[in-house]
Structure formats: C-alpha cells, structure tokens
Amino acid sequence: MKDFLQREFGTTKVSLVDKDDLKEKLGGITLLERTKYRKQVAISGAKEAIAKGAIIRKENKMADTLSEHERNKDFCFPCLHYSVSEGAGVLRVKIQNKNGIKKKIGVRTVDAEASSPKDYGAVDEVIDFTESKKSHEITIKIEDDDQWEPDEDFYVELYDVNTNERLHGEDTRTRVTIMDDDRPGMLSFADNKTHRHVHDQAECRITIKRSNGSDGDISLDYETYELDKSANTASPGVHYEHIKGELKFKHN
Ligand SMILES: [Ca+2]
Ligand SMILES: [Ca+2]
C-alpha cells in the first residue's frame, strides 16, 4: 500500500491524502476492501501451485526419526506423513510387522479436514500378519474434483481388533495431506481505471473478467453505491438506477 501511495500521491502517509482523490484512484473501492483483497490474493498465491491432474505422491517424514520409546515395538507405519495430489487417484500406505509376529491388526482411516467419501475412500480392514508376512500395503482412493479448496488432511491408524483402541506409539498413525490442484482464478474489472460513461447512452456496461484459472463454480456480489452527497456525484434514482445482485461463473 505504501508503494501505491508514494507513486500516486508522493507520500506514504494516508492521512495526508485527500479522501476523494484516494477513492478515485482505487476505482471506487474503499481502502479497507482493497487491503483485504490484496491479503487474500497473497494467501492464495503463497500455496504451492500444482499442475492440474499432476500425479504427486511424497513421503515427508519417516518413523525412524522418532526415538525408540516413542515407537510401537511390533507394528508401525514406516512413513508418518504422506502428501498426495488430488489427481494421483490412489495412495498406497505401507504397514510393517517389525518382528515377524503372528497377529491380526486393524487399520482404518480417520477424517480430519479431509473427509470420506467426498475427499477419499475410507478404509477399515484387518491384516492377518504371520511370521513370514513382514509388511502389508493398503490402497486408498483419492477423489478428484474441479473445486478449489485448501490442502486437507486425514489420518490412517493401526488398532487392536479386540478393543478397537489405537495401538500405542507415535508410529501407529500416519497423516495424509491431499494437495488441491484446482485454480478458480481471480475476478476483476476488465477496465480497472475510471469508467467514463456518455450520459445519453441508456446502459452502462461494466465487464468483470475471470483470469488465471477457471476451475469450479464461483460467484461475486455486486452493488452500485453513491460516492457522496455532493453536487457533482451521480445519485441513484436520478442519474442511474441502483442495482444489486450476484454474478455467477461456472466451471470452464
Ligand atoms: Ca482437481
Ligand atoms: Ca479440488
């Protein structure tokens, strides 16, 4: 914002700038709204961009980074945190039988921000480990859509089939982050400077453009408002018709 003030008004102090001049430079949008908008854009832009449909599966943190007393002595997930892109389709999660024990162990998914069946296919199965069966892999279906959403997590945990309780240890639960690959884009006025309208034309057309992506359905609320009550500003019902509504953009 300081750069903008310096460039347009030769000062970085907003208190020294004429309110109406500032309003005009901002295209009718209040300073507060503009600041909020910029923050939102900055947050969206900070997220790691993934190409739509990209197949990404990453193992981020391994169980051997834990100390011995934090770990289960018999069974574990060797990887404690996976990342998977929406477009990957499936994620395979490995379970280890460290000492080759014959035992039945349950494995199940647990919702967090990501939930089944919207974001992934729930799993709840019993693994029949034996002396020779030292590991097992489960396959989890990852759901893809066209709607933007933040990256979301769910968990997979090992449990005792008799008590239904999660097994002791930090390595009996693994986190899965589903990475969104959709870009809803941004909405802005096609003409971002002052729109000059000839008074004898009946309609004033304002174009809103969607740029940098068009995934999913999005919408915006719009409304005309009077700048102030001074003699040289247009008034609703006199110089223009007040309008208010919602503009919807479909997935494209
Ligand atoms: Ca997607
Ligand atoms: Ca999505």
**Domain of residue 62, CATH code:** 2.60.40.2030
Helix (H) or strand (E) holding 4: helix 2-9
212 CA → ligand 1 middle, Å:
15
Residues 89 and 168 in one domain: yes
Residues 73 and 166 in one domain: yes
Residues 29 and 135 in one domain: no
Domain hosting residue 65, numbered range: 57-179
Structural domains counted in the chain: 3
pLDDT of 153-167, one tens digit each? Answer: 999 999 999 999 999
Residues 230 and 252 in one domain: yes
Residues with CB under 5 A from ligand 2 (ion): 145, 147, 180, 182
- 3 state DSSP class of 201: coil
pLDDT of 105-160, one tens digit each? Answer: 999 999 999 999 999 999 999 999 999 999 999 999 999 999 999 999 999 999 99
52 CA → ligand 2 middle, Å:
9
Cβ–Cβ under 8 Å, residues 75 and 96: yes
Cβ–Cβ under 8 Å, residues 54 and 83: no
State CA 171 to chain mean position distance.
Answer: 28
Ligand with an atom nearest the CA of residue 86: 1
86 CA → ligand 1 middle, Å:
6
Q: How confident is the model at residue 16 (pLDDT cuts 50, 70, 90)?
A: low
Name the domain boundary from 154, 179, 204.
179
- The DSSP bridge partners found for residue 126 are 106
Residues 237 and 208 in one domain: yes
Work out the burial of residue 64: count CB atoms within 10 Å of its CB; fewer than 13 is exposed, 13-18 middle, 19 or more buried.
exposed
Q: What is the dihedral of CA 43, 58, 108, 154, to 10 degrees?
A: 0
pTM: 0.70
214 CA → ligand 1 middle, Å:
12
200 CA → ligand 1 middle, Å:
47
152 CA → ligand 1 middle, Å:
13
